[in-house]
Amino acid sequence: MAQAILGGLIAQKTSPGDFCVVEPMPETRAAIAKLGVNACALLTTDLIDCEAIVLAVKPQMMSMAISPLKGTLTSQVVISIAAGIDTASLALWLGGDTTPYENVIRTMPNTPALIRAGITGLYAANGVGVEGRRIAESLLSAVGKTLWFDDESMLDAVTAVSGSGPAYVFYFIEALEEAALELGFNSDAARVFATQTFLGGAQLAASTSESPGVLRARVTSKNGTTERAIETFEAHALKRAFINGVKAACIRSRELGRELGAVSAGSIDVVKGSH
């Protein structure tokens, strides 16, 4: 995800020299360096002379990964893209012995950011000012749409709906592709028809103010083929099962926030500069 954000910013003509990334994995470090970005194996104190620090760290690794930053920050806005970890935990882990560091923004982008077609939910802790919000907005809007939330708990819902959402799309593309194969398509044709159907349907839904339900009804002729398919889906409670799955993902995001008070090592992606 950090590479996607960097790629989006560089595509917008931001200089690669405005960024530095801390990444312990040599292969990933080499890939980042190819973008013209300074990539380091270890976090050093000179790297925190920046406007913003982006924590592109797995939630299980967050506490240990950011421990070198504890008590060292002054005005930098810290932007987390880790699922489940709330701003209160980040503030405690980053702050001094008695004072939490509250210039923290929690975000949840999704993997279509890789093609600059993502969507990101954002929440700012009370200590974040207008400039911190502007910086976060400029970073995440480089890879897609953004939307701010006033209630931090909604970031768990964002994780369930859009953070995990691409996997749901891939799951149903996979199912449609398998159905096409069983109906006699060859593998190449099955892939093209399945992916293009989802792509075209999503673009059509995005291009109109009409609800998906109205669009679906227009395709569903009385006693026709689509109606038969929808009836079969409803007979198996497919829609309710899907909704329940999304709710389960939201519950899991909240569980992660409760579970990960003390975790093991990871990496920190540091974004510095004027953007």
**Structure confidence by residue, pLDDT tens digits, 194-250:** 999 999 999 999 999 999 999 999 999 999 999 999 999 999 999 999 999 999 999
pTM of the model: 0.87
- What pLDDT is recorded for position 267? 42
pLDDT score of 275 more than 50: no
Mean pLDDT value of segment 248-272: 67
- In CATH, what number is assigned to the domain containing residue 53? 3.40.50.720
- What pLDDT is recorded for position 2? 84
Q: Do 134 and 187 sit in the same domain of this protein? A: no
**Structure confidence by residue, pLDDT tens digits, 170-201:** 999 999 999 999 999 999 999 999 999 999 99
Q: Do 135 and 38 sit in the same domain of this protein? A: yes
Residue 79 is assigned to a structural domain of this protein? yes
- What pLDDT is recorded for position 7? 87
Confidence of residue 270 (pLDDT cuts 50, 70, 90): very low
Residue 160 is assigned to a structural domain of this protein? no
**Structure confidence by residue, pLDDT tens digits, 34-79:** 889 999 888 877 778 899 999 998 888 898 889 889 999 999 999 9
Greatest Cα-to-Cα distance within the chain, rounded to the nearest angstrom: 69
Q: Do 136 and 174 sit in the same domain of this protein? A: no
Q: Do 218 and 102 sit in the same domain of this protein? A: no
Q: Do 35 and 171 sit in the same domain of this protein? A: no
Nearest-Å Rg of the Cα atoms of the chain is 21
**Structure confidence by residue, pLDDT tens digits, 118-172:** 999 999 999 999 999 999 999 999 999 999 999 999 999 999 999 999 999 999 9
For 104-140, b/e burial (b = at least 16 CB within 10 A) is bbbbbbbbbbbebebbbbbbbbeebeeebeebbebbb
